[in-house]
Structure 1
Amino acid sequence: MNLTAEQERRAHATYRRLAVVDFPEDLRLGLNLGFYRTFAVPAIARVLTGTGKMTGRPKARAKATGAVMYTLIEHGLDHPTGRETVALLNRLHAHLPVGDEEFVYVLAAFCVAPLRWIDARSWRSTTEAEKDAAFDFYAGLAQRMGIKGVPGSYTALATWMDEFEERRFANTAEGRALLDATRGLLADRFPRLPTAPVRAASDALLDERMLVAFGVEPPPSAVRGLVGAALRWRASRLRRRHRHRGPNR
């Protein structure tokens, strides 16, 4: 799907507002959750553990990944800084031993997982226009990176992602090592986590498919209840804040 420059500009403006203005904390946490999902794909987990950076220096590696994504979100794909960042991504990914399906999956995880988190846990659900804008943004990135096989809409991409996970998620030593190395980072992304052990609180943010893929026991019901209550309180607080700001915030 080829968009005009004006269509891409509008899609970027909508997605940037979603990420920077309306849901800054949620979008960032959702991107983290999307990144965690990639640990359950054996081929991707092997690449991420192969360099040793994700397990040896998880905070620095996560910060670098976040910086790349937010450079693209802030500036757009066709801004000079955005083009430089896309060129960097192309260099970094040029010789990785994974196929197009894995690359499509990473894009899907970054596109779909944050919006699903927002829809389930934040102060309002995303609109169809916002979902379309997110899809157009990541489809544009895929086009610039030469990634083939991206489905043609947000809904199709979300369905493809679920089907891919059913086929490809697996419990591997590499995936477990990545999860263990980065659990604390996930907890740090969520403000005011309840004072439960970090591991259990972090695991409460993972869905059943991820827990099964990592071979992790569901956290105790008390921890799940505390995390759920904290998320509901947070959503209510954000809803009141945005209501006071009004539509022209």
Structure 2
Amino acid sequence: ISCLIIYLALVKYLRFQHRDQLLKNFSHLNSTSKLKDMTYEESREISRVLIELDCPYISHTSLSLALFQTYSVPSISKLLNKTGRLNLPSCVGKRAEDTVCLLAELQTFGLFSQRGSLAISRINFLHSIYSTSISQDDLLFTLSLFIFEPLRLIDQFEWRTSTELEKYSRFVLWSHIGQKMGIKHLPSNPDDLLNWLKVYKSKAVVFDPSNVKLGEATINLFARPYPKFLKPFLRKSIIYFLPDDIREAFGWSNEIPLYISRLIPIIFKIRSFLLLHFTLPRQASFDFGLRDPSLENPSMDDETTFYQRSNWLFEPWYVKKTFWNQFWSVFGFSVPSNEFQQEGYEIHQLGP
């Protein structure tokens, strides 16, 4: 019992260690007027605490939900349906994992690393193929969701909420990415961007059959790894995490039964309680499944240009076979194999 008491006391003493150290290290940015002076490198260092140490689970999965929400805009969903990469079961898994890899490269290594530069170049190339069909507003909408949705979900479901410093750092981080993507008329502060987002959503987020087609394909992708008997529950659970206006644009306004709206908050409150009171702070960064994040600037002459991952979201693309991950095949899950390019990926080959 004495050991347990000591452990719980240690958890209480250390649990906010990363956040408190962050506030101390960046005390020169402790007012609204000073936040605007935050640099890109400072935003990376600040964001890292929330993304890789304190709240990696929701930070990671919320990007997929943010991307999902972009399909609620008909101009976006019609284009993506036309390409056929997101509504075909044979393509949608790889397309989703490739997107995860590109975003992970940016978040793990930064814009100005060699890997980050390759990732943003690849993103820009893929967008250039459809440049006449993608509007600046649609790009800014997507960028805004990548900024605000993880913060919304973290504040609602994680064991701690984000600080003002962390909120602003996410704006600075993604604004720099937006500039590299050639997005014009980026607001100069998060409040203005949030106001723009609300106005844009009121006009652009509307019901359309193309939204539904893409939305159903995405729901099926989220639920694909799980047993059939769980899929109805998973479907309703995924829809629960979407904002009301997004649900309406997919035609899912009445898809949330009372038990889901009660059960999910309880599950996450229990999770938050356990993390807050019974777990020590993470010391190793969550690397978004990138096997060797130390290879930040590999030589272009290096023959090893393939990068492997250690985990996956939907399908095990680019993950090396191990004894442990092969075990999941017993339960019917897809596991790493040659079919999923276990040798790894080359950044300039990601995407369709």
Aligned to 1:152: 188
User: Counterpart in 2 of 1:36?
Assistant: 68
Give the root-mean-square deviation of aligned CA atoms.
2.5
Q: Which has the larger radius of gyration?
A: 2
Q: Contact (CA 8 Å) 1:184, 1:198: kept in 2 or not? A: no
Residue aligned with 1:106, SS: helix
Change (3 A) 1:185 1:230: farther
Pair 1:149–1:229, CA change in 2 (3 A): same
In the TM superposition, what whole-angstrom CA distance separates every residue of 1:110-133 from its partner, at most 9, and x where no partner exists?
111111110111111111111111
Q: Matches of 1:21 and 1:186 in 2, distance apart?
A: 24
Cα deviation for residue 241 of structure 1 reads 4.4
The corresponding residue for 2:233 is 197
Q: State the distance in 1 between where 2:135 and 2:231 align.
A: 41
2:197 equivalent in structure 1: 161
How far is 1:188 from its partner?
A: 7.7
Q: Of 77, 82, 86, which residue of structure 1 is paired with 2:116?
A: 82
> For the structure 1 residues 165 and 142, does the alpha-carbon distance in structure 2 shift closer, same or farther, using more than 3 Å as the test?
same
* Pairing 1:230–2:267 present: yes
SS at match of 1:197: helix
Q: Does 1:220 align with 2:257?
A: yes
Using a 3 Å threshold, how does the CA distance of structure 1 residues 152 and 47 change in structure 2: closer, same or farther?
Answer: same
SS in 1 for 2:111: coil
Does the C-alpha gap of structure 1 residues 82 and 248 become closer, same or farther in structure 2, counting only changes over 3 Å? closer
1:95-115 CA distance string (max 9 Å, x none): 421211111111001111111
TM-score normalised over the length of structure 2: 0.64
CA, structure 1 residues 248+125, in 2 after alignment: closer, same or farther (shift >3 Å)? same
Report Cα offsets for 1:9-41 as digits up to 9, x if no partner.
111122233211111110112111211110111
Distance change (3 Å), C-alpha of 1:149 and 1:10: same
CA offset at residue 155 of structure 1?
A: 2.2
Aligned to 2:302: none
Identity of aligned residues (%): 24
CA contact (8 A) 2:53 2:283 kept: no
- Counterpart contact for 1:187–1:201, Cα < 8 Å: no
1:39/1:179 contact within 8 Å kept: yes
Q: Tell me which residue corresponds to 1:50.
A: 82
Alignment of 1:1-249 (within 5 A): 7-56=39-88, 57-96=91-130, 97-186=133-222, 197-216=233-252, 217-241=254-278, 244-245=280-281
SS at the partner of 1:126? Answer: coil
**Which deviations, in whole Å up to 9, do the C-alpha atoms of 1:139-179 show, x marking residues without a partner?**
10111111102111122222221221111101112211111
Counterpart-to-counterpart distance in 2, 1:7 and 1:238: 31
- Show structure 1 runs of 5+ residues with no match: none
2:86 partner SS: helix
Name the CA distance, whole Å, in 2 between partners of 1:187 and 1:240. Answer: 31
Partner AA of 2:58 in structure 1? D
Once the two structures are TM-superposed, the CA of residue 196 in structure 1 deviates from its matched residue by: 6.0
- AA aligned opposite 1:12: R
- For residue 238 of structure 1, report the CA deviation from its aligned partner: 2.2
TM-score normalised by length of structure 1:
0.88
Higher helix share: 1
For these two proteins, the number of residue pairs brought into alignment is 241
Q: Output the CA distance in 1 between the equivalents of 2:199 and 2:183.
A: 19
What secondary structure does 2:185 align onto? coil
SS at match of 1:54: coil
